[in-house]
Amino acid sequence: MPKMKTHRGAAKRFKRSGSGKFLRCRQGRRHILTKKDPKRKRQLRRRALVDPVDEPRIKQLLPYL
């Protein structure tokens, strides 16, 4: 069998946490930042966990991560 390929777009968007869960970046921090208050922008910096429903799909896209 040939090796499975990693989906490069997904590899740039998701990371694996120490406990084995997938982390993602939060949305809403690309543009129109002037109207968002500093607390909201600061909280958007943190990573979020991927929903458990979506984990099987991400595992398929990232077989070696």
- Residue 48 to residue 29: CA distance in whole angstroms: 14
Q: Could you tell me where the beta strands, DSSP code E, fall in 1-65?
A: 14-16, 22-24, 48-49
At 11 the pLDDT is 97
pTM, 2 dp = 0.85
Question: Among residues 63, 46, 51, which one has the least CA distance to residue 10?
Answer: 63
At 65 the pLDDT is 87
At 52 the pLDDT is 96
The model's pLDDT over 6-63, given as tens digits with 9 standing for 90+, comes to 999 999 999 999 999 999 999 999 999 999 999 999 999 999 999 999 999 999 999 9
Residue 6's CB: how many other CB atoms inside 10 A? 13
Residue 1 pLDDT > 90: no
The class of domain 8-61 in CATH terms is few secondary structures
43 burial type by CB count under 10 A (0-12 exposed, 13-18 middle, 19+ buried): exposed
